[in-house]
Amino acid sequence: MKRFILEQSETEFYTSHSGLALVGLCLNQYGQLNQALEKGIPLRHGIAHADIIKSYIGTLSLGKSDFEAIENHRDDDYFKAALAIHQVPSSARLRQRLDEHADALLPIIYQSNLDFLAHAQVPVTPLATGHVALDIDVYPMNNEKTCKEGVSRTYKGFDGYAPIALYLGKEGWCIGNELREGKQHCQYEFRYALERGLAAAKRLTTLPLLVRLDGGHDALDNRIDLHEADQVDFIIKWNPRKQDADAWLAYAEQHGQWTTPREGKRVALFSVMEQHTRNGKTYTCRRVMQITERTITAQGQALVLPDIEIEGWWTSLPVADYDDAMVIALYRDHATAEQFHSEFKTDLDIERLPSGKFATNDLIMSLSAYSYNILRWIGLIGLLGEQSPVRHPAKRRRIKTVIQELMYLAARLIRSGHRLKLRFSQSCPGFIAFESTYAKLAAG
């Protein structure tokens, strides 16, 4: 094969990450991040807070979470022009500023993330029932063999953190990503997260909400709080704890609707209504039950004693409009949140958080939610139409795909008078998608 001659230009400037121009539009065209930072945390001298925050969001948008990654952009004129920043901080300055002002920056970044979603008027697609799904879930992040503040044993059996995330709509917009210690139970201080999440969700949609929670949140207070919330329904996985499986099987024989998916396996569905009292007020709750009896395994092995599995789901959806099977199907879609977790941990590279301080890492979780939503929005605009690079059909692109197809597009930066021009290769497969996305964001 022919050998290439490798050269480095002294006069021409190229960038491998032209997609930062799209991120810069999202940061500066929507919301009031600069003004909120100037007003919230006055600064007499030094690099502006906005330059610090936008620089770090820029590196996150390229899939790099470590502070040292910013050093690659210290002398990168395109990085500054794309994100509209005046000075790129050093890794030491970046780390120090986030450590110094983590507590003050956190509410500003949280609010700026919601402002971006609201001002960009992102689509929030409802379920077939007309509800907008609000999925709330705790997920573990492995930070073993570190001495970071807050790292402790998680429910998965390794040392790390257990943050709680809130995703809205079929698109999975992240309206909250709160860091928690690994040992912290998911229900601890959950009511505060739920209250704040409902307020954020109602800002972005006027449709009724369907809150979906796993069995760790099977608590009476949660059910009653959601019952009392306006335009909110819920499905919460029931935690059976110490239930008598044989007693439930006997109850299902009399009241359940049985099906036989295969030989040796029977499944019964039915609903039970239970009453609960709090502060002198009585509430009636529906619980959908599924009892599964197996006498033969899926591999054809006959069992000496039948295997009985009991599952349940608390819900406020009425029996008349939503049968038992529909409630279970609606809850199973809650598993999509696991993919969103993986996009944070792998695509944005935040599983092993970069700071040793808990408050700083909590801030980084909110910054990652901001970056995640920006990349999700760019992906919806640029990678789902007929002009997008060739990919398999999908309703939503992974963050990794957005980074690969639009963030890391090589281009030549040309200065003409007071204007900047990005020149792409004639064979660039993502140019049309990039051009149309840039035009839509710039017009917003």
Give the model confidence (pLDDT) of 218-235 as tens digits: 999 999 999 999 999 999
Pair of tokens at residue 172: 């999975």
Per-residue pLDDT tens digits for 395-404: 788 999 999 9
Q: How many CB atoms lie within 10 A of CB 352?
A: 17
Per-residue pLDDT tens digits for 181-196: 999 999 999 999 999 9
Pair of tokens at residue 195: 């209250």
Domains of the chain: 13-121+357-443 (no CATH), 132-346 (3.90.350.10)
pLDDT at res. 390: 67
pLDDT at res. 7: 74
CA distance 38 to 348: 27
Cα dihedral 366, 369, 373, 379 in deg (nearest 10): 140
CA distance 275 to 226: 15
- Pairing verdict, β 164-168 and 419-423: unpaired
Pair of tokens at residue 43: 């600064």
In DSSP terms, 265 is beta-bridged to 262, 294
**pLDDT over 90 percentage in the chain:** 85
Segment 311-333 shows an average pLDDT of 96
CA distance 318 to 327: 10
Pair of tokens at residue 120: 């960009």
CA 416 to chain centre: 40
pLDDT at res. 388: 76
**pLDDT over 70 percentage in the chain:** 99
pLDDT at res. 11: 66
Backbone angles phi, psi at 430, to 5 degrees: -100, 5
CA distance 271 to 235: 13
Using alpha carbons only, give the angle 430, 432, 433 rounded to the nearest 5 degrees.
Answer: 65
Side chain identity at residue 107, one-letter code: P
pTM of the model: 0.94
User: At which residue do the structure tokens 């970071």 appear?
Assistant: 148
346 DSSP assignment = I
**Cβ atoms 413, 13 nearer than 8 A:** yes
Per-residue pLDDT tens digits for 243-261: 999 999 999 999 999 999 9
User: At which residue do the structure tokens 């999440």 appear?
Assistant: 197
- Cα distances from 380 to residues 87, 279, 293, 398, 417, in angstroms, run 31, 46, 44, 10, 34
First vs last C-alpha separation in the chain: 49
Band of pLDDT at residue 392, cut at 50, 70 and 90: confident
